[in-house]
């Protein structure tokens, strides 16, 4: 077998060499950038409210610590828990991709104290995600109601919304990243319903909805919707590209031991942070022994 001699004197050889040099130079220049992108993690800040109802209900600290541990097992995620009601370090939100609040609401909502409403609003305008769990979705209409509509698409409004304990049958689920790995399920909790949503549900996608017992419809407005399913968890897109999630369950701490219940919330947190939700949902395990830890 005879081989042709390679010579730089040939025109095509010079072109080949020049192209190869350009490609190698480009790879060398892009190398650090690619490595930095691969190493960068989505920062998620989780805030636990103060001690509330008791050891096994509204267990904000224990619940947030469980979710934080589960999230830190997700590739590309860096979750940090802040306890005692709010973040102690004013720089805690720097670089955050999403914020999770699990705390008491209404007039005593932590976000209404000091200048926090404006602080969170500024983060939302930069596209940071937000997840509000259980009582944290409850806010006064004239103090935070407008902001919650903007941030997560809806909220619990006293006198309009209802907070009964009931067994919800989630018979159908939307095609959404938050429902990946989730099958229809049944679960008992204090599921709030008849929420106040954006007009015409603009940008809002119902995630969990079920038919509540008719005897729980305590207001005329709720009775006017008799026979219809009610939304108890929802996702929202903001015009600025930010994402929000409202979840009304989470009254009982034991709920975090249920794989389906927990996966819905973990999927949602990742989605609000712009993290790709796996086809089978975010996988996690919580043992009965772990559920007993960190209770107030």
Query: Cβ(210)–Cβ(190) under 8 Å?
Result: no
Tokens of residue 189, six digits:
């909790």
Is the pLDDT confidence value at 1 over 90?
no
Residues 242, 98: contact at Cβ < 8 Å? no
Q: Considering its fold, how many domains does the chain have in total?
A: 1
Give the pLDDT score at 15. Answer: 52
Q: Which residue has the tokens 């008791």?
A: 54
Question: Which pTM does this prediction carry?
Answer: 0.86
CATH number of domain containing 256 = 3.40.50.880
Q: Tens of pLDDT along 224-236? A: 999 999 999 999 9
Task: Determine the structural domain holding residue 102 and report its residue range.
Answer: 43-291
Instruction: Tell me whether residue 30 is in a domain.
Output: no
Residues 128-165 pLDDT 10s: 999 999 999 999 999 999 999 999 999 999 999 999 99
8 A C-beta contact, residue 267 and residue 275: no
Residue 80, Cα to own-chain centre: how many angstroms?
14
Residue 238 domain-assigned (yes or no) = yes
Taking only Cα atoms into account, the Rg of the chain, rounded to an integer number of angstroms, comes to 24
CA 202, CA 221: separation in Å to the nearest integer?
21
36 within a domain of the structure (yes/no): no
The whole-angstrom distance between residue 177's C-alpha and the CA centroid of its chain comes to: 11
**Using CA atoms, how far apart are residues 48 and 135, in angstroms rounded to an integer?**
12
Please, which pLDDT band fits residue 55 given cuts at 50, 70 and 90? confident
| Model pLDDT for residues 15-33, shown as the tens digit of each residue | 544 554 444 444 344 433 3
């Amino acid at each position: 077998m005879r081989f042709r001699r390679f010579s730089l004197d040939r025109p095509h050889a010079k072109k080949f060499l020049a192209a190869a040099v350009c490609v190698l130079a480009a790879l060398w220049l892009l190398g650090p950038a690619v490595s930095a992108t691969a190493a960068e993690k989505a920062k998620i800040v989780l805030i636990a409210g103060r001690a509330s109802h008791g050891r096994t209900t509204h267990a904000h600290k224990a619940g947030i610590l469980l979710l934080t541990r589960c999230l830190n097992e997700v590739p590309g995620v860096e979750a940090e828990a802040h306890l005692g009601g709010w973040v102690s370090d004013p720089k805690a939100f720097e670089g955050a991709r999403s914020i999770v609040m699990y705390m008491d609401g209404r007039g005593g909502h932590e976000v209404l104290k000091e200048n926090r409403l404006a602080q969170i609003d500024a983060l939302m305008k930069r596209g940071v995600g937000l997840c509000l769990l259980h009582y944290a979705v409850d806010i006064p209409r004239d103090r935070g109601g407008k902001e919650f509509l903007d941030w997560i698409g809806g909220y619990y409004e006293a006198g309009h919304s209802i907070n009964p304990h009931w067994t919800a049958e989630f018979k159908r689920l939307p095609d959404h990243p938050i429902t990946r790995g989730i099958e229809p399920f049944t679960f008992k909790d204090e599921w709030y319903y008849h929420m106040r949503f954006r007009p015409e549900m603009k940008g809002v996608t119902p995630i969990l909805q079920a038919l509540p017992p008719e005897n729980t419809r305590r207001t005329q407005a709720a009775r006017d919707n008799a026979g219809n399913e009610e939304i108890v968890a929802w996702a929202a897109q903001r015009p600025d590209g930010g994402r929000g999630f409202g979840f009304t369950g989470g009254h009982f701490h034991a709920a975090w031991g249920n794989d389906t219940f927990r996966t819905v919330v973990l999927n949602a947190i990742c989605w609000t942070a712009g993290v790709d939700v796996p086809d089978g949902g975010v996988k996690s395990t919580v043992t009965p022994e772990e559920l007993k830890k960190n209770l107030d």
